[in-house]
Chain A
């Protein structure tokens, strides 16, 4: 019998207000559109701000899951990240080369300017030796990362996976977000969201609190199926739930999906949106089924069917 895949902890850093340390350049001259930046993260020489934030949030995630940092060490834990723009230092390399020539590029800076650097640096911090990769992809990259993590668990590659989504909107990435913003678009929030996935048997063995079970995932084609999410839910849950909440992150240009009555609103945080939807669904009181995910108007999206406790708890405990 195949094992269930459950969520045992989440962690979130979401820029809610313009941080005091963020220069006014975070806003356009007209003030019509803004990017809200996360506060600066203390980082030692081994880390960038981004990898330092990820490392800190992994610590929080482990603590919330009832795990010690040492529990993450070894091949039983995997780590995957998803992002739309990746690490801003990649673009910064190009700027330094343009302004300073070859001497402006140093070995440490180059090593840190790879999109998988946060994953790799945190793997070293915590001794994580399971599968590890970085996606720099569509607006649904966070959900693509979640799908990767779920694959690894279903395939028996490891027992738990830390799924991270982030946006690092500095320099050219911020300018590009601003370029794409439609008139009157809401602010874009820099964010980092983490979800800890575990095999049900692993969670059960350590008597972990289960926040939800992932019943399944469903791929959504670009421009299709967003008007009728029943087919998507059918695939994600394996049946059409009698009632469910729906929370799908979509950029301004995507077709607005249905939303359940009373569902929380999502802010635009690009590829973090799918995991933010998942976290917001888990924040809702009471048991229930949720269809959460993210849509990209050009490339489609991914939805996950969540069975929230007590159903998931009883299934895992059974």
Chain B
């Protein structure tokens, strides 16, 4: 083990793209606007738009990969997005060998995880709920993936609100660095639920139309669902088996606010960023791009800019910042995973995606992409931040590998 950990496979499922290349092509110009989800009625909610993956499209893609018939219906519904993204990530990493897969661990992030809602509906209707024996618990998606792909290494499932994914990355990184396994499948998978929709509407945290991060007229978030899965691997192990490193996962910072359940504090995020920088042995001016949490709520974006201003206080440290939630929506527990992928893509392409919905950006000292096209940047290191309900803050740092682009 070298202590250096690289990404050797990536898989993505969002409403508008299945697969990394399709995702990059769709995302970089700025994505598209949200619409009504297909699988539940949002007309009773104040804000009803979303970035929801079509269940039919998902089922078709599973069938194309030969995954549909292998699992009962309930398994597919619980883990469908994760299965598709994981299949792509494992294939890209070249993990078709059963022994390699058996060594590989599985760490997932999720919001509500399994299918306890469907199980509750079933027993409420007088059914015994037996269809949900294996899929009701919140950690069931990780179990389905581990079983489906024969992953027998370290296992865990995190549900820490919108900061779940960085927690999963932290655990996976430690398992590789400590020598528990040379490689891990890590990421987030979520299926949109009416309860989450209702909750964020009750909090008045959702915009009726679109999410406009860092815009002066921003009014809130738009929920999305999908999955992003990555294979992380000890670099020496990856090189020895001929795998191609896509980026390095340098560090993770984790810190609690201890401030308020729904109102973030800049102090916690600033500590998470500083911790990640310190552990990576980097100075703030070495960070070229920050993919922000940027939910588009007035409070979140203001707090985040304050935290960035505190950490990148020196005039020489002025990274390009952006939020991509105006293109993907807020994937909640999986947001950190999809944004990790976006951060890696940005490093590989040397530019951050356009912010198509942000027409009138807040004045800050940090440059931001405009609405019309991607913004180029030069540098080797990029950061991705996530904030969760309850004051959970996290910061990931990635490093470009030589010889890009995708």
Q: State the A residues within 8 Å of B (CB).
A: 73, 75, 79, 84-86, 90-91, 93-95, 97-98, 101-102, 104-107, 109-117, 119-121, 123-124, 126-138, 140-141, 144, 147-148, 151-152, 154-155, 157, 171-173, 175-176, 179-180, 219, 221-222, 224, 296, 298-300
Residues in B with CB closer than 8 Å to A136 are: 110, 113, 137-139, 157-159
With A116-B389, A137-B142, A299-B155 known to touch, is A93 a contact of B255 (CB < 8 Å)? no
- Of B154, B175, B260, the most chain A CB neighbours within 10 A belong to B154
Min CB distance A107 to B, Å, is 5
Chain A CB within 8 A of B116 CB: yes
Q: Could you mark each residue 129-170 of chain B with 1 if its beta carbon is under 8 Å from any beta carbon of chain A, else 0? A: 110111011110011001100001111111111010001001
A-B contact pairs, 23 of them (CB 8 A): A75-B255, A79-B256, A84-B137, A86-B113, A90-B138, A94-B116, A102-B44, A106-B202, A111-B261, A113-B195, A119-B160, A119-B390, A124-B261, A124-B391, A133-B170, A133-B392, A135-B157, A138-B156, A175-B119, A219-B175, A221-B102, A221-B152, A222-B146
With A137-B142, A157-B275 known to touch, is A110 a contact of B256 (CB < 8 Å)? no
Contact between B143 and A105, CB atoms less than 8 A apart: no
Contact between B254 and A133, CB atoms less than 8 A apart: yes
Q: Which single member of A97, A104, A105, A116 contacts B159 (CB below 8 Å)? A: A116
Q: For chain B, give the interface size range.
A: 35 or more
Residues in B with CB closer than 8 Å to A296 are: 155
Contact between A90 and B275, CB atoms less than 8 A apart: no
Binds A, one of B120-128, B214-222, B342-350, B351-359: B120-128
Residues in A with CB closer than 8 Å to B167 are: 133
A300 to B203, CA, bound (A): 39
* Other contacts beyond A111-B390, A137-B138: 4, CB < 8 A: A94-B195, A114-B389, A117-B389, A130-B255
Min CB distance B202 to A, Å, is 5
Contact between B389 and A120, CB atoms less than 8 A apart: yes
Residues in B with CB closer than 8 Å to A75 are: 255, 271
A140 to B116, CA, bound (A): 19
- Of A130, A157, A299, the most chain B CB neighbours within 10 A belong to A299
Min CB distance B396 to A, Å, is 14
Residues in A with CB closer than 8 Å to B279 are: 155
A75 to B256, CA, bound (A): 8
Contact between A129 and B129, CB atoms less than 8 A apart: no
A107 to B258, CA, bound (A): 19
Q: Which single member of A91, A95, A98, A299 contacts B146 (CB below 8 Å)? A: A299
With A134-B158, A180-B133, A221-B152 known to touch, is A123 a contact of B391 (CB < 8 Å)? yes
Contact between A120 and B202, CB atoms less than 8 A apart: no
Q: Which single member of B112, B146, B390 contacts A123 (CB below 8 Å)? A: B390
Residues in B with CB closer than 8 Å to A94 are: 116-117, 120-121, 193-195
For the residues of B in contact with A, the DSSP-based class is: mixed
Residues in A with CB closer than 8 Å to B74 are: none
A75 to B391, CA, bound (A): 13
A148 to B194, CA, bound (A): 32
Q: State the B residues within 8 Å of A (CB).
A: 44-45, 102, 105, 110, 112-113, 116-117, 119-121, 123-124, 128-130, 132-134, 136-139, 142-143, 146-147, 152-161, 163, 167, 170-171, 174-175, 178, 180-181, 193-195, 198-204, 254-262, 268, 271, 275, 279, 388-392
Residues in B with CB closer than 8 Å to A147 are: 171
A127 to B260, CA, bound (A): 11
A98 to B139, CA, bound (A): 23
Residues in A with CB closer than 8 Å to B119 are: 172, 175-176
Min CB distance B50 to A, Å, is 15
With A102-B201, A129-B271, A133-B392 known to touch, is A173 a contact of B258 (CB < 8 Å)? no
Min CB distance A184 to B, Å, is 18
Q: Which single member of B128, B134, B202 contacts A107 (CB below 8 Å)? A: B202
Contact between B157 and A138, CB atoms less than 8 A apart: yes
With A135-B156, A148-B171 known to touch, is A113 a contact of B255 (CB < 8 Å)? no
With A105-B202, A120-B256 known to touch, is A134 a contact of B159 (CB < 8 Å)? yes
Contact between B254 and A132, CB atoms less than 8 A apart: yes
Residues in B with CB closer than 8 Å to A98 are: 120-121, 124
Contact between B181 and A102, CB atoms less than 8 A apart: no
Q: Which single member of A93, A137, A298 contacts B157 (CB below 8 Å)? A: A137
